[in-house]
Chains A and B, each alone.
Chain A
């Protein structure tokens, strides 16, 4: 990622519209994203509560025989690393270094995909090798719903960031788009944090 490949971002537009000067100084998009994340907290809160409430009820298998904790720990690490690259991408955007931002975004997408691939493998393994299905036991029901919902969040983040990456080649990236990347970054970090909560409450707790 040498300086030579850097493309300049487009110029900021000449005049600022009143609706872009906000009372708080925080852009509207960011406020709305924070509100969405507050709401999403409640979504995951509900799912995680459901899973915990149904732990150890009838039909709850010995889950430690099912989990592949090494794999999941590894994929957790990968997801955390993706957050680092997300932060780098946002920082590069703010500095106007489009090329750096592209590389970082690419890394986020790659790591996110690796995480997702691990989850797909995990699900496949559970279903086909261990016979753990969503409608086979209450554990399967809550486990697949919770981690699946998280997986869909990751997938959505990957699609979102990929769209920006592709757009950066075909559209006109401007300095203002740093905000859009930052908002996507908020989402991405949030999805990571949720996994940091799911990992102990769904996986590690079974080994206690």
Chain B
């Protein structure tokens, strides 16, 4: 660090910082300062950029893990009546594949972008609550660890599906500990998502740079905001459902026990009241990324900006009104079936509007086919196919034939791989220079794009045929005379090509992060505020507060008249105020992890400690650590120190 750092730390005896209690508590743990050991720096960081990088790295790891699980699944299905793996193992694999991809790969990849890009796009120094942000990261990471720990316990991972329909999850039908791991890790991950969402909402509503009105916000930031609202409103439903399930399993309550007045169908309602908004939690960030990438590579502003923003919000609202379309075969009755079918069709309109506007953005542009753009165009076309099959599902009579078949598997993989993953890849190729100051190779990027596109279509398009000719989902094998063999072989071949494409992509990321060459600060000739600083940005993001004059501010600076150019606020005479690092988010996360593990191991023998059955021991330990960390967190206060930026390092300012 070349900056001159002024350590006039407020948190110690010198005193005087707003809101911060002054005593360094017990002096047990000193807050690490500038120049601490890199490991300690990363463990205690509150910098949104470092947190984002850890989110991204962990998510990529889980993406690879979930991908390997998928390949084993495809390997088993490559022929009829194969016994490569047992039925139980297969069921565990598809459960873990789904849960991992949704909660540990796609959502955290989205969170990585929210964390890295959103504060830069609004010209902020960090998120509203930097330590809470670190807490979200650690809780997510430990939640992922908790879920995957299940593999190492007797009985192994949960074999109940990511949807975990009651009463299959009851202690009668799923006595194994795997289901408890699933329940508790989802609770833990929910806490992480909720904490992150509160943080992002406060950040976007409150911490925009002067002049950056809501209707000047980049669309990605808008989608971050909408997604955060979806999270805070949707996650409670599944959290409560999981609590109810946990009570049923551990305390003998009757929430989903049909014989005792409970109703298994309640689980489905609660799960999908969460589950359908969750679909939009996965796709809205992707739509935001695409809305950033297309204008840059078409060299035109987004077509119909207000309508894209508005349709995103409409999708978010309607997302809460269509959950029962996942339950068309459960016997809802004519009225409910018709209502939910029509509402579901309505969602096609704002979604279609987005696609029209993206094409409108391209129209009249000058389109460059760099890797991010290839993935973005791939996104539009693949997501469109997924959208069309979605319209088919909205039609109840059609859905009764397609529900729970490979047709649905094809549909949501078109939306989630062709949609979310393609867009996230576009985003990674687009923002990698921002994050690392290095550019990914175009040649390998394009190779990986074509492999992903071809492999993906070969893997998933035949599944439409499989579904329509009657192959149910979640079956570990099929009779040889069903006529499904050929398409399954194609699908498996495609899956491995897709895997190869993803492997090249991951390898490229690792190689470039390690050895890549430095590139310009704004290599794509971009448009939005995150490019108005160095790549990678300094710890403080912007040396002075940017004063925004227009949407697409950075583009205006390059190509528009002087009066709407970016201005910079006054230099802060005390230097830039930076939040202090803290140990407590990590410790609180560990406390929560132990607490959750305690509930998993409720009444179970604890491994490595013979003869020790856990009743509330682990819970007490974990909860105490959690509470202690929260108190010390509160007492240490936000702290902070002042930093004087080195102006020579910022070409833009």
Contact = CB atoms under 8 A, between A and B. Distances in A.
A2 interface: no
A35 B240 CA distance: 18
A31 B205 contact: yes
Nearest to A27: B206
B251 A135 contact: yes
A137 B244 contact: no
Interface stretch (A16-24, A80-88, A102-110): A16-24
B201 A15 contact: no
Interface string A172-207: 101011011000000000000000000000000000
B315 to A, nearest CB: 19
A120 interface: no
Residue among A135, A167, A174 with max Cβ neighbours from chain B (10 Å): A135
Interface string A51-94: 00110011110000000000000000000000000000000000
B549 interface: no
Nearest to A11: B16
A201 to B, nearest CB: 16
Contacts of B126: 19
Interface string A3-25: 00000000011111111101110
B572 A59 contact: no
Contacts of A174: 19
A23 B18 contact: no
Interface stretch (A38-46, A111-119, A123-131): A38-46
Given A32-B202, A172-B22, A138 B262 contact: yes
Contacts of B574: 15
Given A36-B198, A47-B240, A138 B206 contact: no
B644 interface: no
Interface centre among A31, A53, A59, A179 (most CB of B within 10 A): A31
Interface stretch (B253-261, B518-526, B589-597, B645-653): B253-261
Given A32-B201, A39-B236, A59-B261, A19 B253 contact: no
B129 A28 contact: yes
B277 to A, nearest CB: 11
Contact of A23 (B207, B232, B241, B263): B207
B64 interface: no
Nearest to B17: A13
Contacts of A43: 236, 239-240
B545 interface: yes
Given A15-B574, A135-B253, A31 B235 contact: no
24 contacts: A12-B18, A13-B17, A19-B128, A22-B205, A23-B207, A38-B233, A39-B198, A42-B236, A46-B273, A47-B240, A50-B240, A50-B270, A57-B263, A134-B251, A137-B261, A138-B262, A141-B253, A145-B243, A145-B247, A171-B21, A171-B635, A172-B21, A172-B22, A177-B19
Interface of A: 12-20, 22-24, 26, 28-29, 31-32, 35-36, 38-40, 42-43, 45-47, 50, 53-54, 57-60, 134-135, 137-138, 140-142, 145, 163, 167, 171-172, 174, 176-177, 179-180
What 4 pairs across the A-B complex have the smallest Cβ distances? A138-B261, A135-B252, A42-B236, A22-B206
